[in-house]
C-alpha cells in the first residue's frame, strides 16, 4: 500500500499557535542532519543558548531547549523545582493556570490556588495574600494567558515572591519573542516557553531557564526528579561543557530554532516587539468599527493574542470554518469557559504582518455581512490602515 504524497494546504496561521513559520526557518529545518554529538551540532547548541539568553535577558547558565513541546517545558519547570510535599501556589485566570496545577499535583506538590475571573490579572496584594495563606516554596503564574488574551505584569509581583523566600515560576509560552521578557532584572527564577508561538518555529522545542536560586534548590533535592527525560540535573550535563550523552536531540528542530532566533535578533528585539504591538493596534482599530470588543482588561491586553467577544447572533463555527476553507485563515475558538464565546486571533511572530491584518479584516467583514450583521463596508480595513500609516 502506498499512501498519497504529502501536499499540505497553504494556511495563514492567525490562531493561538502554531504561528506562521518564517521561510528561513523552513529552509533551515531541511538542512543536512548531523549527529547529536557532532562538533558542528555542539557549536550550534552553544550559539542557540547564547541567543536564547539574549532574548530572555538573562545570564543563567542553565538555559536550553527541552526536546519536546511547550507543555513539556511546563513539566520541566515544575518537576525540577518541586519536590513531593512542597507547597506550591498557582495563580489561575485561564486554562493554563489550571494545567499548571494539574502538573504540580502529579509531581507531588501540595497545591493551593488563587483565582481571578478570566481576562483579569493578579495584583501584588493578591499574590501576597496567597503567599501568606499557603507558605509556598514555589509560586507559578502565566505571563501571557493564551485562553483569555490577558497579560500579567511580572516585575511587580516578583519581589513579593522573593521576599517570601519562594521561587517564581513563569509561563512565557506565548509572550517570549513577542514582548519584553527580562528574567534577571525582574527576578524570575524559572521560565519556560515554546517554539511555536512568537518564535515562528514549528512546535517541538521548549526553551527553559533556571536561575541561581532554582539551581541551588535543584542541586539540594532530597529525591530524584520525578522524570528521567526532563531531569535538568542530567540535561545540564548534556547542554553544559561536559556534553554527557542524555538523549538523541532533534537535530533539525534545533536548526529551525537557531534560525528563528537569528531572525528575531537581526530585526532587533525592540523592533520585533513594536511590530507585534503595531499589528495589534491596527487589528483592534478595525475590530472596533465592527463593534467587536476585547475580552481582557483594557490595560492588560496581549498584543500577540487577541481574544475578542463573538457578536450576538453570529455563528462561531460558520465564521471560523469559512475563514479557513474560503480564505485560508486559521483563527482559534474559545477554550473552557469561553468556548463559543470568543475568537482568539493570533498575531505571533511571522504572522504579525500588515497584510495579514488587512486580509483578515476584509474576510471577516464579508462573513459577518453574510449573517446579516450591520456594518460599513471597508471601514475595518480603513481603520487598520490608518494605524499602519501613522
Phi first, then psi: give them for residue 285, nearest 5 degrees: -60, -40
State pLDDT tens for residues 7-41. 999 999 999 999 999 999 999 999 999 999 999 99
Phi first, then psi: give them for residue 190, nearest 5 degrees: -140, 130
113 and 235 housed in the same domain: yes
CA–CA distance, 215 with 184 (Å, rounded to integer): 14
Asked which of 265, 287, 308 is the last residue of a domain, the reply is 265
Count of C-beta atoms within a 10 Å radius of residue 348? 29
302 and 226 housed in the same domain: no
252 and 366 housed in the same domain: no
Residue 323 pLDDT > 90: yes
Better-scored residue on pLDDT, 390 or 183:
183
Residue 242 pLDDT > 90: no
State pLDDT tens for residues 123-140. 999 999 999 999 999 999
State pLDDT tens for residues 329-365. 999 999 888 999 999 999 999 999 999 999 999 999 9
DSSP symbol at 150:
E
DSSP symbol at 390:
-
Angle CA(148)–CA(123)–CA(156) in degrees, nearest 5?
105
Asked which of 231, 249, 265 is the last residue of a domain, the reply is 265
Report yes or no on 9 lying in a domain: no
Report yes or no on 7 lying in a domain: no
The boundaries of the domain holding residue 65 are 23-265
Report yes or no on 207 lying in a domain: yes
231 and 170 housed in the same domain: yes
DSSP symbol at 165:
T
Asked which of 233, 265, 297 is the last residue of a domain, the reply is 265
Report yes or no on 310 lying in a domain: yes
Report yes or no on 54 lying in a domain: yes
State pLDDT tens for residues 142-175. 999 999 999 999 999 999 999 999 999 999 999 9
Mean pLDDT in residue range 263-291: 98
State pLDDT tens for residues 40-51. 999 999 999 999
- Look at the chain and report how many structural domains it folds into: 2
In this prediction, residue 252 carries a pLDDT of 98
Strands 62-66, 206-210: pairing is antiparallel
Better-scored residue on pLDDT, 335 or 228:
228
Q: What is the DSSP string of 4-15?
A: PPP-PPP-EE-S
Residue 81 pLDDT > 90: yes
What does the mean pLDDT of the chain come to?
Answer: 96
79 and 156 housed in the same domain: yes
232 and 321 housed in the same domain: no
Amino acid at each position: 500500500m502506498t499512501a498519497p504524497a504529502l501536499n499540505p494546504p497553504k494556511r495563514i496561521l492567525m490562531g493561538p499557535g502554531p504561528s506562521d513559520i518564517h521561510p528561513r526557518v523552513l529552509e533551515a529545518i531541511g538542512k543536512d542532519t548531523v549527529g547529536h554529538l557532532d562538533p558542528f551540532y555542539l557549536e550550534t547548541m552553544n550559539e542557540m543558548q547564547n541567543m536564547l539568553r539574549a532574548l530572555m535577558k538573562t545570564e543563567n547558565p542553565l538555559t536550553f531547549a527541552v526536546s519536546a513541546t511547550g507543555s513539556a517545558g511546563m513539566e520541566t519547570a515544575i518537576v525540577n523545582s518541586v519536590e513531593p510535599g512542597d507547597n506550591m501556589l498557582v495563580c489561575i485566570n485561564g486554562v493554563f493556570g489550571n494545567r499548571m496545577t494539574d502538573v504540580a499535583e502529579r509531581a507531588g506538590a501540595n497545591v493551593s490556588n488563587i483565582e481571578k475571573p478570566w481576562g483579569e490579572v493578579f495584583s501584588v496584594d493578591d499574590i501576597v495574600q496567597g503567599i501568606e495563606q499557603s507558605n509556598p516554596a514555589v509560586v507559578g503564574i502565566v505571563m501571557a494567558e493564551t485562553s483569555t488574551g490577558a497579560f500579567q505584569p511580572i516585575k511587580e509581583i516578583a519581589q513579593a515572591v522573593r521576599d517570601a523566600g519562594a521561587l517564581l515560576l513563569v509561563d512565557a509560552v506565548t509572550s517570549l519573542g513577542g514582548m519584553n521578557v527580562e528574567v534577571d532584572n525582574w527576578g524570575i527564577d524559572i521560565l519556560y516557553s515554546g517554539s511555536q508561538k512568537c518564535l515562528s518555529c514549528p512546535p517541538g522545542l521548549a526553551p527553559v531557564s533556571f536561575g541561581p536560586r532554582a539551581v541551588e534548590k535543584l542541586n539540594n533535592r532530597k529525591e530524584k526528579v520525578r522524570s528521567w527525560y526532563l531531569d535538568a540535573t542530567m540535561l545540564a550535563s548534556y547542554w553544559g561543557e561536559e556534553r554527557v550523552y542524555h538523549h538523541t536531540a532533534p537535530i533539525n528542530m534545533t536548526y529551525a530554532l537557531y534560525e528563528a532566533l537569528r531572525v528575531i535578533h537581526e530585526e532587533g528585539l525592540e523592533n520585533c516587539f513594536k511590530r507585534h504591538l503595531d499589528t495589534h493596534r491596527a487589528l483592534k482599530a478595525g475590530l472596533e468599527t465592527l463593534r467587536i470588543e476585547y475580552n481582557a482588561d483594557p490595560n492588560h491586553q496581549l498584543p500577540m493574542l487577541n481574544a475578542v467577544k463573538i457578536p450576538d447572533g453570529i455563528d462561531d463555527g460558520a465564521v471560523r470554518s469559512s475563514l479557513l476553507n474560503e480564505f485560508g485563515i486559521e483563527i482559534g475558538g474559545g477554550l473552557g469557559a469561553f468556548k463559543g464565546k470568543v475568537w482568539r486571533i493570533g498575531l505571533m511572530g511571522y504572522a504579525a504582518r500588515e497584510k495579514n491584518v488587512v486580509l483578515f479584516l476584509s474576510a471577516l467583514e464579508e462573513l459577518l455581512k453574510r449573517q446579516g450583521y450591520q456594518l460599513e463596508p471597508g471601514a475595518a480595513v480603513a481603520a487598520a490602515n490608518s494605524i499602519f500609516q501613522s
